[in-house]
Structure 1
Amino acid sequence: MSGVLAVAAALPCGLLVGVLLGALGGGGSILAVPALVYLLGQSPHEATAGALIVVAVGAVTGLACHGRAGRVRWAAGAVFGALGTAGSYLGTRWSATLDPTVLMTAFAGLMLTVAGALVLRGRRAPTERPQAKGARRHPARIAATASAVGLLTGFFGVGGGFVVVPALTLVLGLEMPVAIGTSLLVILVNSATALATRAGTGGLDWPLLAGFAACAAAGSYLGNRLATRLPAAALANAFAALVTVVAVTMAVTAIPRL
């Protein structure tokens, strides 16, 4: 695919990723890797690195929107993100050693897990209650969860928001809207760590990624506005269906090559 055509194809992909990232506080970024590989011709390792740039840019835009609305707990998000940096570093190093086919097969499995988690989150959302403010928080549990999120970010090049949002509600006791906003700060910290770890490991198609990231930023803003107009469960279910289709397609393509 020529450079101009690749950038043109990246625009709708980036917009979709950004909309989902802004509306759901994560999850949308998981579409960046398959889009870069199957639609834009990147190798799996290039795609997992490039996706981190797209995720980071989209997270900044969404974070600004949620921050202005008072839906970000800056201190809690910064600490949670910092606790995940070691996992992000290890995940990045581990990912670089894997065969590309194995990496994409594992990614398909991750996508199916995400789809299931989103459906469950949508069903529980009306009845979920955050922990009381005085609830006891276990530092070891918080550190373990943060490290797992960082590992996912570094290994797969995804933000991990599908894990961060429920973790922030259950472990830190944040209400769902605040957890969604705060998750973007965690995603940004983990993405920056993974990008720093990957620095100098290979060339990236910067024009393509710039177009993709710019659309992700615009989409994140639109997604933030959309989230106030549509039921979260409807968004989550529609996204879960899309992720399932993409994951099955990836698995059918990758598994025979193992």
Structure 2
Amino acid sequence: MSGLLLALGAGAVSGLALGALGGGGSVLAVPALIYLLGFTPAAATTAALVVVAVTSGTALAAHAREGTVRWRAGLVFAAAGLVPAAVGGAVSRQLPSALLTGAFAALAAVAAVRMLRPSAAAAVRMLRPSAAVRDEAASPRASRIAGAGAGLGAVTGVLGVGGGFLAVPALVNVVGLRMRAAVGTSLLVITLNSVAALAARAGSAVVVDWSAVAPFAAAAVLGAWDGKRLAGRLSSDSLQRVFACALLAVAAFMLVDAVR
């Protein structure tokens, strides 16, 4: 019973972060699976991909109904990341647990710093999206799109994170989408990359306790809906700062654990 309650609680918090901030839920999911539910790093990253795919896919349906998903741009961006995601998923099985934990801690720290110190360009786009962001019809360099998509796919495959905190800025700065469209389109990219990474891990020897993953994923989906409503009531900057500080603490703890 305690394991079930932990799974439900951790899943709800991860989903809440995803719904309120448009990303970041999976960065909480992996440490929660490791330290609260006793998963190995390899099993946690595999389970997190399931949580990410289910949660992002559900959120994608809602954004599609609202018309905030740019399908063509998202599919092109995701296509560049499918092979790196699959390769990353296969490589992840061969990495030592300490290396996986340390790499994840570094990524969490980077995500937290980005949230605490957004770039000036991103701030302008958030404040004046209509004037500062190119229209989707513009034609950014294909090499830049491919590079950004491939990098995100590799991160998803190796570390089991959706990478919404990386996908949204990339879709704004590289592809040229407005912020609202970038959030919706990032869910398409994340879902496809997660499925590709999961397919690469199919048949591996990693043992995953699916009885704990199922309630975790279900709670994350429900938490994402609550997070979306919460974002409409509270300042997004305040939510982001609180989440970033919590993420820095998690990153520090995991880094210490990795080097012990």
TM-score after normalising by structure 1: 0.93
Q: Which amino acid aligns with 1:52?
A: L
The answer to whether residue 103 in structure 2 is matched with residue 99 in structure 1 is no
Q: Matches of residues 80-159 of structure 1 in structure 2 within 5 Å?
A: 80-121=77-118, 125-128=122-125, 129-132=132-135, 135-159=138-162
Equivalent residue of 2:134, what SS?
coil
8 Å contact kept, 2:164–2:186:
yes
Aligned counterparts of 1:86 and 1:245: Cα–Cα separation in 2: 33
Q: How high is the sequence identity, in percent, across the aligned residues?
A: 46
> Over aligned residue pairs, what C-alpha RMSD do you find?
1.6
Residue ranges of structure 1 left out of the alignment (5+ in a row): none
Q: Aligned in 2, Cα 1:108/1:155: closer, same or farther, shift over 3 Å?
A: same
Moved more, 164-173 or 224-233: 224-233
Aligned counterparts of 1:60 and 1:9: Cα–Cα separation in 2: 23
Match for residue 27 of structure 2 among 17, 25, 30: 30
8 Å contact kept, 2:87–2:200:
no
Moved more, 177-186 or 142-151: 177-186
8 Å contact kept, 2:152–2:166:
yes
Residue ranges of structure 2 left out of the alignment (5+ in a row): 126-131
8 Å contact kept, 1:61–1:220:
no
Equivalent in the alignment of 1:51 = 48
Equivalent in the alignment of 1:225 = 229
Aligned pair count? 253
Which digits, 9 at most, give the CA deviation of each residue in 1:96-118, with x for residues without a partner? 11110111011111110010112
Aligned counterparts of 1:79 and 1:219: Cα–Cα separation in 2: 30
The answer to whether residue 196 in structure 2 is matched with residue 193 in structure 1 is yes
Poorly superposed stretches of 4+, deviation over 3 Å: 122-126, 132-136
Q: Aligned in 2, Cα 1:254/1:79: closer, same or farther, shift over 3 Å?
A: same
TM-score after normalising by structure 2: 0.92
Aligned counterparts of 2:81 and 2:182: Cα–Cα separation in 1: 17
Structure 1 residue 42, shift from structure 2 partner: 0.5
Match for residue 163 of structure 2 among 160, 164, 171: 160
Equivalent in the alignment of 2:8 = 11
